[in-house]
Structure 1
Amino acid sequence: MPYAELTITVPESVWISEVSGAHPETTFRVLAATANAATGVARIEIDGNEAAAVCDEIRSYDAVTDLTVLGTGEAACRVQIETTVPLLLSSLQDSGVPIEMPIEVRDGELRLELTVPSETLSSLGETLDRLGIAYTVERIQQDVESDPLLTDRQRWVIEEAIDRGYYDTPRRTTLVDLADDLDVAKSTCSEILHRAEERVLKDYLADERSVPAGTTAPSD
């Protein structure tokens, strides 16, 4: 199946376009989301020094019916937002695109990574064109292995973590240093590593559990 990377310009009618444009140094990291034609709910991490002020601005939008703060940190907070205009999310879902979280919005743009059948990718393009949503295909690779264990981004972060000694004992680098080296937020780096580790471990254990009874497992 094709693998594609898209940069989508969030429509101005969607509140996050204006808010992220007004705070270009702030990253809006969507951790989970669901939507139908009328409403949407998203759990978002707002990462930046103006997180509290950003929350107040979001509450002022008529389309935002509720904002609940779930947790706060030094320069970030996690919120759950309910909205009546889930245009972008519903359009992705209507195209049959499985959305792998987290996805990030920054300065009015959403970065999306997809591994989907060609017809689904075409359907997404047709949906975005029909709705007048601008997008750029940053990369497309055709012969991607069907149902890969890791996404390209997850593989890249894992390989960099291994090369830099993150998994060594003792560790030769910290999560903070690794995130700085890769130019991503610490929380993003942690989330990508966690999801990649989850997939690798579950795949490994699935193989181990499939070993026929009576077979001796190798020792450490």
Structure 2
Amino acid sequence: MAHATLAVTLPEHVWIAQLSRANPEATFRVLAGVPGEESGFALVRITAEDPEAVVESMAEHEQITELTPAQVSEGEVTVHFETTAPLLLFSSQESGLPIELPIDIRDGEAEIDVTGSRERLSELADQLTAFGLQYRVEHVRERLHESQLLSGRQREVILAAVEEGYYDTPRRCTLTELADRLDIAKSTCSETLHRAEETVIKRFVEELPAAESEPPIEATLGQ
């Protein structure tokens, strides 16, 4: 399974692109969404200096057919609405690849996360293009289950190290005490910890934001 983060530029004719560009300081966080046959339903939290004014503009837009405030607090309004232009939902539906929520939209750009086979990711890219959505790839990487990241023995040792305070500052447990706690040789404990730490740290570095832009998703996926 591959995990991808895409920055999607929304076309100007779509309501969310217009409102978010007119209010570039505002954040539209999509909390839930369901596509229908010709429309979509969603729950979105709007954070802005004057969120009520943003909601008023939203309610007046011709592409919003229904809007109901669900929660109001200082600087935030959460609304449930129906729209005739849920392009991201339609793209996800057509590709068979669900977009992970929440989705943050600011100044006409949405950041989306998806996980699936490389074939499904490529299909999503095709659907985004078909709906007139431009995008850039922030990163693509293989997503491994934790059981694939560390061996059973490595997980046992590193979890015991955390529990016993080996990684605390100052340490509450020495390497010798940890080895005794696990009933293994000190050298075995040290090597197992080192291999587990190497794997975890390398994975952490791999997940840091890339310094340079990624290639197009089709190229990344070998399409």
Q: Same fold per TM (> 0.5)?
A: yes
Q: Is the 8 A contact 1:6 1:136 kept in 2?
A: yes
When the two chains are superposed, the root-mean-square deviation of aligned CA atoms in Å is: 1.8
TM superposition shift of 1:11: 1.7
Q: 1:84 to 1:132 in 2, by over 3 A?
A: closer
- Structure 1 match to 2:220: none
Secondary structure (helix, strand or coil) at the match of 1:24 reads: coil
Partners of 2:129 and 2:65 lie apart in 1 by 28
- Structure 1 match to 2:78: 78
Partners of 2:106 and 2:45 lie apart in 1 by 12
- Counterpart of 1:68, as a letter, is T
Report whether the alignment pairs 1:43 with 2:30.
no
- Structure 1 match to 2:140: 140
TM superposition shift of 1:144: 2.0
TM superposition shift of 1:147: 8.8
User: What 5-or-longer segments of structure 1 have no aligned partner?
Assistant: 149-220
Once the two structures are superposed, residues 49-108 of structure 1 have per-residue CA deviations (whole angstroms, 9 ceiling, x without a partner) of 120000110111111111111111110011011112222211122111122211111100
Secondary structure (helix, strand or coil) at the match of 1:58 reads: helix
TM superposition shift of 1:146: 4.9
- Structure 1 match to 2:57: 57
- Counterpart of 1:53, as a letter, is A
- Structure 2 match to 1:127: 127
- Structure 1 match to 2:97: 97
Return the index of the structure with the highest Cα Rg: 2
Q: Is the 8 A contact 1:23 1:107 kept in 2?
A: yes
Q: Where does 1:157-196 land on structure 2 (aligned, <5 Å)?
A: none
- Structure 2 match to 1:34: 34
- Structure 1 match to 2:68: 68
TM superposition shift of 1:128: 1.4
- Counterpart of 2:130, as a letter, is R
Partners of 1:144 and 1:32 lie apart in 2 by 23
- Structure 2 match to 1:22: 22
Q: 1:147 to 1:31 in 2, by over 3 A?
A: farther
- Counterpart of 1:83, as a letter, is T
Once the two structures are superposed, residues 153-207 of structure 1 have per-residue CA deviations (whole angstroms, 9 ceiling, x without a partner) of xxxxxxxxxxxxxxxxxxxxxxxxxxxxxxxxxxxxxxxxxxxxxxxxxxxxxxx
- Counterpart of 2:5, as a letter, is E
Secondary structure (helix, strand or coil) at the match of 1:5 reads: strand
- Counterpart of 1:78, as a letter, is T
Q: What stretches of structure 1 move > 3 A for 4+ residues in a row?
A: none
- Counterpart of 2:60, as a letter, is S
Q: 1:91 to 1:37 in 2, by over 3 A?
A: farther
Q: Where does 1:191-210 land on structure 2 (aligned, <5 Å)?
A: none
- Counterpart of 1:66, as a letter, is E
Secondary structure (helix, strand or coil) at the match of 2:101 reads: coil
Q: 1:147 to 1:53 in 2, by over 3 A?
A: farther
Once the two structures are superposed, residues 130-169 of structure 1 have per-residue CA deviations (whole angstroms, 9 ceiling, x without a partner) of 222100001111x321599xxxxxxxxxxxxxxxxxxxxx
Q: Is the 8 A contact 1:10 1:88 kept in 2?
A: no
TM superposition shift of 1:13: 2.0
Partners of 2:111 and 2:78 lie apart in 1 by 20
- Counterpart of 1:144, as a letter, is R
- Structure 2 match to 1:13: 13
Partners of 2:65 and 2:116 lie apart in 1 by 33
- Counterpart of 2:143, as a letter, is V
Give the TM-score taking structure 1 as reference length.
Answer: 0.64
